[in-house]
Structure 1
Amino acid sequence: MSVTDEQLADAGNRLGDELIRQERTIATAESCTGGWVAKVLTDRAGSSAYVEAGLVTYSNEAKIKLLGVTERSLEEHGAVSEPVVREMVAGALAATGAGVAVAISGVAGPGGGSDDKPVGTVWFAWGTGPDDTVARVECFPGDRDEVRRQAVLYVLQGVTAFLGAA
C-alpha cells in the first residue's frame, strides 16, 4: 500500500482537531518511524496547542533512560513487542505530562527481521494511562519507506479512533 504525504497530512489534521476538541496534548515515543509521527503532527501551524513532545528512542538504551522501559522487557520480549510499547507509552506520559501518548517500535527493513518478527512487523500502543492503553501489531508490506509510511498512517488513525471513542 502506497501512503501519500496528503494522506498523512489529512490523518494528522484529523488527530490534531480531535486533540483540540478534547483539550488534550500528545507525546510520541517513536523508534522505527524516527519522529515521523511528531513531524506530521507539527507540520500544521498552531500544533503547539496539542503537541507536548516527541521522543525518538531508537536504541534500547534510550528506551531505558528516557522512557523507563525495563531491561527485563527488552531481554525477554525484544524491542519490537507489546510489553515494550506499553512501557514506552507509560514512560512518555510520565516524562511529558501529556494527556495521551503513542509508541511505535518495529522492523522497517530491509534487514533485521526474523521468523517471528519479519520485516514489516510493527508494534503500536496508545493511551491515556496504564489502565487505558491499547496495543496492536501489524505486518506491513513494502520497502523501508512504505513500511514506515503505513505505520505513521496507522497510528494517526488509531489514536484518532481511540480518542473519538473516549
Structure 2
Amino acid sequence: MESGIEAELVRVLRDHSHTLSFCESLTAGLACATLANVPGASAVLRGGLVTYATDLKGSLAGVPAEVLAEHGPVSPVTAEHMARGAQRVCGSDWAVALTGVAGPTPQDGHPVGEVYVAVAGPTRTIAVRAPLIRGDRQAIRTAAVTAGLTELRREIEAWEQKEGMVR
C-alpha cells in the first residue's frame, strides 16, 4: 500500500470500520480525489459534496441561511455546518469540510490563503483556521487538502484516546 497521510487514513478508518466524506468549497473535490487515489479507498470513502457556490453550502450541505448571512461562506461556523452536512448526507462516520479563499483576490474581507477546516466525527465537530497559506491557487488548494487530512488524523487520534483504543 502507498505511504503518506492518505494511505494512513484509509488504513486507520478501515481498521475501525469507519467511513469518510467531504464537503469542499475552495478545493472543489481535490480532497476527495486525493483520498480516492489510495488503493483500497473504496472501503472507507463514501463520497462528497462540492459546494463551491455559496448557495450550495445551504442547499446541499444544509448550512442555515442565517449562518451564511451572519458569518459568510468563509468562517469556522460555516465549516462546521458543512462537515456535519456531509456526514449526514453521505451517511459517514467522519467528514471533513474545507472553505476558504484560493485567490487571486481577497473575498469579502478574507485574505487569499485563509482556510478553515472542520472535522465531524462520531462524538464531536471541530473547526480550525489553518495557518495562512501562501502561493498560487493550486498551491493554496493543495495545502488546504493537506491541512484537512492532517486535522482529520488529529481528530481520529483524539477519538481513539478517548475511547481507550490502542493502535
- Fold conserved between structures, TM > 0.5: yes
Residues in 1 aligned to 2:97 and 2:83: alpha-carbon distance in whole angstroms = 6
2:124 match: 132
Cα deviation for residue 56 of structure 1 reads 0.6
Question: Is the 2:10–2:40 contact (alpha carbons within 8 Å) kept by the matching residues of 1?
Answer: no
Residues in 1 aligned to 2:143 and 2:86: alpha-carbon distance in whole angstroms = 22
Residues in 1 aligned to 2:92 and 2:67: alpha-carbon distance in whole angstroms = 24
Question: Is the 1:18–1:160 contact (alpha carbons within 8 Å) kept by the matching residues of 2?
Answer: no
Cα deviation for residue 14 of structure 1 reads 1.3
Cα deviation for residue 48 of structure 1 reads 1.0
List per-residue Cα deviations over 1:12-56 (Å, max 9, x = no partner). Answer: 111111111211000100000011110011112221100011111
Residues in 2 aligned to 1:80 and 1:150: alpha-carbon distance in whole angstroms = 16
1:3 match: none
1:164 corresponds, among 127, 150, 157, to: 157
Counterpart mapping for 1:6-25 below 5 A:
10-25=4-19
1:50 match: 44
TM (normalized to structure 2)? 0.88
2:75 equivalent to 1:84: no
**Can you give the 5+ residue segments of structure 1 that lack an aligned partner in the other structure?**
1-5
Task: Figure out how many residues of one structure are paired with residues of the other and give that number.
Answer: 157
Q: Which amino acid aligns with 2:87?
A: L
Question: Is the 2:48–2:90 contact (alpha carbons within 8 Å) kept by the matching residues of 1?
Answer: no
- Report which structure shows greater RCO (CA 8 Å, sep ≥6): 1
Residues in 1 aligned to 2:41 and 2:54: alpha-carbon distance in whole angstroms = 29
**Can you give the 5+ residue segments of structure 2 that lack an aligned partner in the other structure?**
160-167
2:116 match: 123
Question: Is the 2:117–2:151 contact (alpha carbons within 8 Å) kept by the matching residues of 1?
Answer: no
2:163 match: none
Question: Is the 1:127–1:134 contact (alpha carbons within 8 Å) kept by the matching residues of 2?
Answer: yes
1:41 match: 35
| Structure 1 runs (4+) greater than 3 angstroms displaced | 112-115
2:53 equivalent to 1:59: yes
Cα deviation for residue 114 of structure 1 reads 5.2
Cα deviation for residue 112 of structure 1 reads 3.3
Cα deviation for residue 58 of structure 1 reads 0.7
TM (normalized to structure 1)? 0.89
Cα deviation for residue 152 of structure 1 reads 0.6
2:165 match: none
Question: Is the 2:105–2:111 contact (alpha carbons within 8 Å) kept by the matching residues of 1?
Answer: no
Question: Is the 1:18–1:164 contact (alpha carbons within 8 Å) kept by the matching residues of 2?
Answer: no
Residues in 2 aligned to 1:144 and 1:119: alpha-carbon distance in whole angstroms = 9
1:148 corresponds, among 124, 138, 141, to: 141
Q: Which amino acid aligns with 1:56?
A: V
List per-residue Cα deviations over 1:103-154 (Å, max 9, x = no partner). Answer: 0000000123354x1100001100225x601110121111111111111111
What is the percentage of aligned positions where both structures have the same residue?
34
Question: Is the 2:103–2:112 contact (alpha carbons within 8 Å) kept by the matching residues of 1?
Answer: yes
